[in-house]
Structure 1
Amino acid sequence: MAAEGARNVTSETTADGAPPRSAMALLVVTGVSGGGRSTVARALENVGFYVVDNLPQALMVEMAELAYAAGGSTRHTAMVLDVRSMAFSTDMTGAIRQLQARGFQPKVIFVDAADDTLVRRFESVRRAHPLQGTGRLLDGITTERAMLAEARELADVLIDTTHLNPNQLRARVEEMFGADEARALQVTVLSFGFKYGIPQDADFVVDARFLPNPYWVPELRELTGQRPEVSRYVLTQRGAGTFIETYARMVNATASGFAREGKRYVTVAVGCTGGKHRSVALAEELATRLQQVGLVAHTQHRDLGRE
């Protein structure tokens, strides 16, 4: 019945000249308190989305229909939900299915961060967690994670903000959703340092520590992998070329499969010890190779500047 309803809606909208509901860019943004939902909302506004913040979950279908009927810029709409919206309804799966039955194709974005990071963020602004009550911060975080477990499972895009500052998070969201080609598979090649932890949102994690470290070359130590001298040193090492070619082929080979499965965002995390030299140079080169074969790819350097 749901599928039949969706077909009817699509047919009606096509008949009167309006685009189908499936063509509407509809995002559902949720995640843990302190994870960065507000930053994501502002970034989406920057790239032209109509953002509805703190929307009660029970009103998702009505809001989507209003945005669709209004047309114009509201056909790019983001609905931002937090745990407080679940006071009205906790059935996010049901709400998503209702939207799909109406012909919409919503994408769920879940913003997350490690517990210790969330604690530091709340303490830095001297604010209690909304579910903390008379307990500790961690009590509120644990309760919220349990309430949001279903929403996290539904997520099309998981953004881990543990090691991202607000500007980095904003840039990432704008790159994901700020252009028409955001509908195609987009590859983020993310450099990082193993000593700062593996990115939780990585689809592939590759290790560049088998290459000689420019840190031990005095004239390269203070430079980064974005500098030509460092890049040349890294890329001319034995095995570097094979490394790049192998992973470029792997990502390219899986791209069509990801697209068929409805996945639109892939993160390839390239790590070295500190995320300053080898991983940065290899990430830049890998992104270039992926662009050359027609993929939409860009780089981010999570830990650059931390040393």
Structure 2
Amino acid sequence: MTSERQLVIVTGPSGAGRSSALHALEDLGFDVVDNLPLNLVETLVAQENCKWPLALGIHTRTRQFSPQALIETIDRLAARDRIDASLLYLDCTRDTLLRRYSETRRRHPMAESADPTEGVARELALLEPLRARADTLIDTSAMNVHDLRREVERWYAPDAGRDMSVAITSFSYKRGLPQGLDLVFDCRFLRNPHWELSLRPMDGRSSEVSEYVQNDRAYGAFFDKVRELLVFLLPAYRAEGKSHLSIGFGCSGGRHRSVALTEAMANALADTGQPVSIRHRELERRERV
């Protein structure tokens, strides 16, 4: 279990997986702040409403970044009563970092040219004092994002249960698939409430639209088979160490069929005791306009 006032500073060379580690810590219940200027770290921690446990992402692009200043900050925080401050360093070999930058075609933040070789070498040299100071060092050279997530959990939540959160998203294929979906189901074969003038202004959250979609002859079999598949898969994903599963239902406009399916499936999974969150991408977009 995490300490009541646990603070983890996450750093390491660009491309080593800092963002993925922060996401993993967030899923473990940490309040996460990335790229906080160094002079604000102690100010944040001192606030009465500071949320614990806390994870801060610090890297070479952070304002006022200095390895020595960061080490001194961690040491001061660690000396305070009731604060468990530690440094997590995500290590990675030079060749692996170069390969990752080559694959993504991103420009290294410390390279003056498009060639990341110089930037990787400079950053590794700059960060060496932090690597030596690290309380926890994770070498991500041979890891994928799932391996890193499991390793973070092993270090920071060794006694955590295997509860897995599930997020279900409705979307329109016209605007492309939402990022990060693990499973996608196309429900465009169901009859479309858009062509019913009385239903067109509504969305899939309304009982009228939901009933219209469910009255399609293919709906029952489709819904039951998807529900059975998910109920079968969830324990397997949980056993594999997955902490979050993202499911998408898509239709043409993202307002009727996909919304109705998302609502119905979320309720069905919630009835089994599974934590479920809902997002309706296109409805949220319309509401922001």
Q: Give the TM-score band, short-chain normalised.
A: 0.5 to 0.7
1:270-294 deviations in Å (ceiling 9; x for gaps): 0001111100000000000001112
Q: Which amino acid aligns with 2:261?
A: L
**One-letter amino acid matched to 2:193:** P
8 Å Cα contact 1:191-1:301 kept in structure 2: yes
Query: Is residue 223 from structure 1 mapped to residue 223 from structure 2 by the alignment?
Result: no
- The alpha-carbon deviation at position 236 of structure 1 amounts to 1.7
2:178 is matched with: 199
1:49 equivalent in alignment to 2:26: no
Whole-angstrom distance in 1 between the partners of 2:214 and 2:195: 16
Counterpart in 1 of 2:145? 154
Q: Alignment length, in residue pairs? A: 202
- 2-structure distance, mates of 1:251, 1:26: 35
Tell me the TM-score normalised to structure 1 length.
Answer: 0.51
CA distance in 1, matches of 2:109, 2:210: 48
Question: What are the Cα deviations for residues 110-155 of structure 1, in whole angstroms up to 9, with x where unaligned?
Answer: xxxxx9xxxxxxxxxxxxx9949989xxx79xxx9xx9x9799436
What is the DSSP-based 3-state SS (H/G/I as helix, E as strand, rest coil) of the residue aligned with 1:304? helix
Indicate which of 90, 94, 114 corresponds to 1:92: 90
Moved over 3 A (4+): 24-30, 50-56, 85-88, 129-135, 149-153, 155-158
Offset from partner CA, 1:68-105 (integer Å, 9 cap, x none): xxxxx8761222245626996xx72469xxxxxxxxxx
User: RMSD value over aligned CA atoms?
Assistant: 4.9
Aligned positions of 1:129-208 closer than 5 A: 131=109, 153-154=144-145, 184-208=163-187
Alignment match, 2:55: 78
Change (3 A) 1:51 1:270: same
Counterpart amino acid of residue 278 in structure 2 = T
Could you report, residue by residue, the CA deviation over 1:171-214 in whole angstroms, capped at 9, with x for unpaired residues? xxxxxxxxxx9961111111000010012200100000000111
- Greater radius of gyration (CA): 2
Q: Where does residue 270 of structure 2 map in the other structure?
A: 291
The one-letter amino acid paired with 1:76 is P
2:192 to 193, 213, 216: 213
Check whether the contact 2:32–2:54 (CA below 8 A) recurs between aligned residues: yes
Counterpart in 2 of 1:15? none
- 2: distance between equivalents of 1:274 and 1:151? 41
Asked whether the 8 Å contact 1:93–1:154 carries over to 2, the reply is no
Distance 1:306 1:50 in 2: 25
Residues in 1 aligned to 2:143 and 2:10: alpha-carbon distance in whole angstroms: 12
Q: Percent identity?
A: 28
d(CA) in 2 for partners of 1:25, 1:252: 36
Q: Note closer, same or farther for the CA distance 1:50–1:134 as it changes in structure 2 (3 Å cut).
A: closer
Q: By how many angstroms is 1:219 displaced?
A: 0.7
